[in-house]
Amino acid sequence: MGKKNPQKKNNRTNIIQVILDDYESGTKDWRTYPDKTAKGNRTIRISQELYDEIGKDTLNHQVLELQKEHLLSDGNGRGVSGWYERGSQLEKIVYNLADIHTFYARDGRTPKYILHYEPIHQLRKEITALKASQRQWKPWLLSCIESLEQDLEKEKIPQICTEKKEIYFKTLTGLNQLEEPTYKRIFSKRYLDNSKTFENNIQTRIIADARKWNPFADEDKEVMTDDEVLSEIGIETYHQELSVKGPLKFELNGQIIDTSLWKCGTVLNAEVLKNAWLLPEQNITKVITIENRANFMAEPFEEHTLYIFSHGFFSPKERTFLTKLRETLAGANTAFCHSSDLDYGGMRIYTFIKNNIFPEVKPYNMSAETFTRYRDRAEQREEAYLAKIREMDVPEELQELKNCILETGSTLEQESMLY
């Protein structure tokens, strides 16, 4: 081991304090503390600064006493004893790792090993208990927990566990137990004892976790809002409603409902989405989902076309309903289309629908031809925004639109087509 000049510590009065400071100053020795068989000599140079700190006579006397007890190396000759002049002027002291427990006992300080590892060991036990508290964890929540364990493997206490551990653990448990979407304040009261605790203390962290680990929560805030992320994990901030226009037939509470009676459209609330039974006989040849409300409202009623307002990303409950609709229409040669802004977010929403709801979906007013037609109404974009488009993967049917956006450096909102 190399020879170290220990940094000056305030209020040191004993050479044992100097020895322990030296022992704890490195990156390896103090980690061997539990191993009582650890051995090896370590050298400390005695400087004038150290003499000034403790007092020359005091320090010399303390070293002589420890050498008598064989707790510091001693012997004949300067190279062994550490003295320039025995009892008067020290060059160095040499201690052995085998005596560290004795030094700690005499000094009375808590070993650095315990201060460092005890919180880690305790937190590891708590995380193990958290994992064991549920028969099965939702995959994204399990990823949240495993990320904490990964920090512990690096001997790092996650910041969330130093500040809001109890709230965080309770929130993860509550989210795992959710079987149906629930309003944010009801969730907070039920699992965190206060209706505002979730929003005020842990919501930001949970949203960040969901964006990172939940496959349905987009990491880009420009694409998916925080409220939409919360909806993905079962926390509702508003009453879920699905706006539709066109022929849709379902049974609800023993009554047959035909939405084609409302030529201007109607709204299906969360309870309808949950309890409606779609009739096998439908008069639908085309389903068109539309991102923006103004464009949805502007579409004229067509006898065999069902328009659906998507408002962005469909929530889990909405996806379940639309998946059932697709299954009901299977074999009827129904066309599925989607219309969004001709930009990064719009292409992400389209891709999401294709991957998770309607695999057969085709673009509706989302072509390079449409972009060119309204090119004079497009907005120029900064390079950072365009870089995200350049790096994203899009379905083959959107590739020409993507190229057009990159070539012009601009994007087009749906509302631009309405005037």
**Exposed, middle or buried by CB within 10 Å (0-12, 13-18, 19+), for 218?**
buried
Residue 5 pLDDT class (50, 70, 90 cuts): very low
Helix residue ranges per DSSP H, 13-111: 15-25, 48-54, 56-68, 78-81, 100-107
d(CA 258, CA 306): 12
Which of 249, 271, 415 has the alpha carbon at shortest distance from 346?
Answer: 415
Q: Identify whether the C-beta of residue 16 lies closer than 8 Å to the C-beta of residue 107.
A: yes
Q: Token pair for residue 376?
A: 């004079």
Helix residue ranges per DSSP H, 178-284: 184-192, 197, 203-213, 226-232, 270-275
Q: Does residue 69 or residue 240 have the better pLDDT?
A: 69
Q: Token pair for residue 6?
A: 């220990």
* Average pLDDT estimate for 396-417: 95
d(CA 211, CA 205): 10
Helix residue ranges per DSSP H, 217-343: 226-232, 270-275, 293-298, 316-329
Residue type, 334: T
Q: Is pLDDT above 60 for 400?
A: yes
d(CA 61, CA 46): 14
Which of 305, 315, 226 has the alpha carbon at shortest distance from 270?
Answer: 315
Residue 238 pLDDT class (50, 70, 90 cuts): low
**Number of C-beta neighbours around residue 78 at 10 A:** 13
**Number of C-beta neighbours around residue 132 at 10 A:** 8
Q: Is pLDDT above 70 for 10?
A: no
Q: Is pLDDT above 50 for 341?
A: yes
Dump pLDDT digits (tens) for 202-213.
Answer: 999 999 999 999
Q: What are the residues facing 342 on neighbouring strands?
A: 412
Query: Considering the chain, what is the average pLDDT of its residues?
Result: 92
Helix residue ranges per DSSP H, 270-398: 270-275, 293-298, 316-329, 344-356, 368-373, 383-391
Q: What local confidence, expressed as pLDDT, does residue 3 receive?
A: 47
Per the rule left: phi > 0, alpha: psi between -120 and 50, beta: everything else, 244 is: beta
Task: List phi, psi (to 5°) of 174.
Answer: -65, -45
d(CA 228, CA 395): 23
> Helix (H, G, I), strand (E, B), or coil: what is residue 90?
strand
Residues in the chain: 419
Dump pLDDT digits (tens) for 58-117.
Answer: 999 999 999 999 999 876 555 456 787 787 888 899 999 999 999 999 999 999 999 988
Domain parsing of the chain, residue ranges: 15-109, 115-236, 241-418
Q: What local confidence, expressed as pLDDT, does residue 88 receive?
A: 85
* Average pLDDT estimate for 301-320: 92
Helices (H) and strands (E) in the chain, counts: 20, 17
Which of 296, 291, 253 has the alpha carbon at shortest distance from 272?
Answer: 253
Which of 100, 116, 119 has the alpha carbon at shortest distance from 21?
Answer: 100
Task: List phi, psi (to 5°) of 44.
Answer: -120, 125
Residue type, 250: F
Task: List phi, psi (to 5°) of 132.
Answer: -75, -15
Q: Is pLDDT above 90 for 143?
A: yes
What single string gives the DSSP state of each residue in 356-371? HT-TT-EESS-SHHHH
d(CA 148, CA 55): 48
**Number of C-beta neighbours around residue 52 at 10 A:** 11
Task: List phi, psi (to 5°) of 263.
Answer: -60, -25
Dump pLDDT digits (tens) for 377-387.
Answer: 999 999 999 99
Q: Identify whether the C-beta of residue 334 lies closer than 8 Å to the C-beta of residue 287.
A: yes
Domain range 241-418, its CATH number among 3.30.365.10, 3.40.50.1480, 3.40.1360.10, 3.30.830.10: 3.40.1360.10
Q: What percent of the chain has pLDDT over 70?
A: 95
> Helix (H, G, I), strand (E, B), or coil: what is residue 180?
coil
Q: Identify whether the C-beta of residue 415 lies closer than 8 Å to the C-beta of residue 377.
A: no
Q: What percent of the chain has pLDDT over 90?
A: 80
Question: Which of 51-54's residues contact partners 24+ apart within 8 Å by CB, and which partners?
Answer: 53/8, 53/9, 53/12, 54/12, 54/13, 54/14, 54/15, 54/18
